[in-house]
Every structure is written in C-alpha cells, then in structure tokens.
Chains A and B, each alone.
Chain A
C-alpha cells in the first residue's frame, strides 16, 4: 500500500532559525496536504498542493510539491515560538482512493 515517509522525526531550532521538513511518497500522489498539530491539540489544516511543481506561501511558510508529485516540503523562515508543534504531510492518490495517508510527522521545538 501507499506509504508516506517524513523526515526528520524531530527538529530543535533556536528562535529565528529556519526549519524544513520533507515528505516522500512511495507512489505518485494526486494531492498532498499539510497539517499542524499543537501540543495537546488536534491536527489543523494548513494547505493543499495539487499541481506538479507547485509552490505556495503563507507568510513565513513555503510549501512545495515535487515535479513527480511524489515528494513535498514545508519550509519555515525565521521560526517563532508559536511555530512549536508537529507538522504532518498527508498524501492521497493512486489506489488509496478516499484515503489520506499521513506521514509520521516532524516534531518542531523552538528554543527562545
């Protein structure tokens, strides 16, 4: 079945440093979504990417979808303590009809 791998599992940064998490799928995706889960909270939707090579920005966050639609990345510029949490990518497509497969998540810690 479809597998979505996400690295790194953990990332500790000093406030102001940049952060990137990477997501790779074993199969071609129809779309990929990103979610953020604050400690003790529930996943909250950030963005969806659909097109090959697509790049979207939300303030300090930049999301990319690979040309082959099998990988994606989330980059945060100049992290803030409010960025703390777990970032998940979630892919859909191929034989996983109706099923969104989540990566393991990257736990981001920001030290003030």
Chain B
C-alpha cells in the first residue's frame, strides 16, 4: 500500500461526457502528479501540483484540467471525452516539489473506458 488513494478504480462512460478522478496523496506529501498510461504511450506526464499551485505541465489536453485543494487532495477533470481518452490514470505523490522530484508513490490508478 503506497498510501496514495485514487477513486474511482474503474469508470465507464460515453463519448462527450465529463468525469472527475480524485486523488488523496500520502500523508505529509505536498506534491501531486497525474500520469496517463495507455497501451501504446507508456506513462505520459500530465501535470504536477505543489501545495495547491500548479508546478509543471506536460502534454495535458485543453479538455483536461486539474486542481489541488487546501487539504492537498487533487482532482483531474476530463471533459468532452473521446475514445482515445480511454486509459489508466495514475496519481502519484512525493514530499518534494522543486528540482529533484524525489521518489514518487503511485496510487492504484483509475481505469477509464470511453465507449
């Protein structure tokens, strides 16, 4: 158990819909990272938050947005869903937020299926 909690574990929805994925980091960790894992793309970095502020951005689509709340949990919002958005979405947390990312602790992931 990494200490990172992600909900829901599985989600099936239709194209055009909007979903929200939730992540609670390990106790004490201020950084939250979101990664997308699909079969042909490996682990793609989406975005990082540190103590409520956006710290780094990867190849995150404009249809996707995220935020980190004062209690440090984070949400990833995916809208106008397309078939290609079907993937496993991982949240990870670390105690560090600048420079060296330090060890990342991954949650079990949220598997999104868009039909």
Chain A residues in the interface with B (C-beta under 8 A): 30-31, 33, 35, 41-45, 48, 50, 88, 90, 92, 96-105
**Is B109 an interface residue, CB under 8 A from the partner?**
yes
Residues of A near B45 (CB, < 8 A) are 99-102
A-B residue pairs in contact (CB < 8 Å), sample of 9: A35-B104, A42-B107, A43-B43, A45-B104, A48-B102, A90-B104, A98-B48, A98-B101, A102-B44
Chain B residue at smallest Cβ distance from A31: B100
With contact pairs A98-B55, A99-B56, A100-B33 given, residues A92 and B48 touching in the complex (Cβ less than 8 Å):
no
For residue A63, give the distance in angstroms from its CB to the closest CB of chain B: 14
Residues of A near B43 (CB, < 8 A) are 43, 88, 90, 102, 105
- Contacts A92-B101, A98-B97 supplied; 11 other A-B pairs, CB < 8 Å: A30-B99, A35-B104, A42-B90, A42-B109, A43-B90, A44-B2, A97-B56, A99-B56, A100-B33, A101-B45, A104-B42
Size of the chain B interface, CB-CB below 8 angstroms: 27
A44 to B92, CA, bound (A): 10
Q: Are B42 and A103 in contact (CB under 8 A)?
A: yes
Residues of B near A105 (CB, < 8 A) are 42-43
**Is B71 an interface residue, CB under 8 A from the partner?**
no
Residues of A near B104 (CB, < 8 A) are 33, 35, 43, 45, 90, 100
A5 to B103, CA, bound (A): 20
Q: Are A100 and B108 in contact (CB under 8 A)?
A: no
A111 to B81, CA, bound (A): 40
Q: Are B2 and A42 in contact (CB under 8 A)?
A: yes
A33 to B92, CA, bound (A): 14
Interface-central residue, A31, A50, A97, A99, by most chain B CB under 10 Å: A99
With contact pairs A42-B109, A43-B106, A45-B105 given, residues A30 and B42 touching in the complex (Cβ less than 8 Å):
no
For residue A92, give the distance in angstroms from its CB to the closest CB of chain B: 5
With contact pairs A43-B90, A88-B42, A105-B42 given, residues A100 and B103 touching in the complex (Cβ less than 8 Å):
no
